Amino acid sequence: MTDQTTLKYTAEHEWVLLEGDTATVGITAYAAEKLGDVVFVELPAVGTGVIAGSIVGEIESTKSVGELFAPVTGTVTATNDGVVDSPELVNSDPFGEGWLIKVTFLELPPLLSHAEYSALTGE
């Protein structure tokens, strides 16, 4: 499990782990809890160009459908087939095995710190 205090966040409840020019992206435990039991995950194909703030995937639960937004502009370099095959990983390990995509980016847009995200969610 990743140390959540070292991650960056979006107001749309994605977390971002920055490693060089690669951003690993997932949804936060807060978002996973609000969605409920995740039953389906749709992710973009490797090689897909994404724009920060655009919808790049879908996460369906037993009670709603949520959208996955790209936190950075760049190219998808990896997708987590594990969550496609076992969507419940988004709920059981959102900051670890439940990661969703990796994106190589050129420029980093403003993202929230852990403290800022905690203030946003009240958690």
Helix (H, G, I), strand (E, B), or coil: what is residue 26? strand
CA distance 110 to 118: 16
For residue 16, what pLDDT is reported? 97
Domain boundaries, given as residue ranges, for the chain: 7-105
Q: Please, what is the Cα angle at 85 between 79 and 91, to 5 degrees? A: 85
What CATH fold (topology level) applies to the domain 7-105? OB fold (Dihydrolipoamide Acetyltransferase, E2P) (2.40.50)
Under-50 pLDDT residues of the chain: none
- Quote the pLDDT of residue 1: 54
Looking at the chain, which runs of residues are DSSP E strands?
A: 8-9, 14-19, 22-27, 38-42, 49-50, 55-61, 65-69, 74-79, 101-105
Predicted confidence at residue 2, as pLDDT, reads: 66
Percent helix, strand and coil across the chain, each rounded to 5? 20, 35, 40
Q: Which amino acid is it at 19?
A: E
